[in-house]
Amino acid sequence: MTQLSGKDLDIAVGLANGWTIKPDAWLGGQWVLADGSSGMMVDEYRPSELWQHGGPLLDVMGCDLNRHESEVSESVEWSADVGDHIRYADTPLEALCKLYILLYAEKE
């Protein structure tokens, strides 16, 4: 699950939130929130790209985000960690989403 990226990662975060997808032939699908109310369209929810969607996961998990710069190359990697759990990615939001999915999977 931690190899997910892009839209697949965003959908996994939505599912970890307890949301379901109501199929829509024209628009691709709409999120149904845990309380049964209608949410945004599936393609509009992008926690791995938009801070207004992914940022609240910081408060939910209480994790740390860290930037790692390579001394050999000019590459940058990000990590999100809480307790003994850590996930790495190219962006802070991707690392955050991957950690969220990991913690959700452990609760199941």
Domain boundaries, the chain: 6-107
All residues at 6 or more sequence positions from 75 whose CB lies less than 8 Å from its CB, including other chains: 69
22 contacts 36 by C-beta, under 8 angstroms: no
* Topology classification of domain 6-107: Bacillus phage protein (3.30.2120)
Number of H helices, E strands in the chain: 4, 6
Whether the CB-CB separation of 44 and 52 falls below 8 Å is answered with no
Where do we find the tokens 């945004």?
A: 40
The pLDDT tens digits for 23-52 are 876 778 999 999 999 999 999 999 999 999
Length of the chain: 108
Q: pLDDT for 57-101, tens place per residue? A: 999 999 999 999 877 777 889 999 999 999 999 999 999 999 999
**Is the entire prediction scored with pTM above 0.95?**
no
How far is it, in rounded angstroms, from Cα 45 to Cα 5?
A: 14
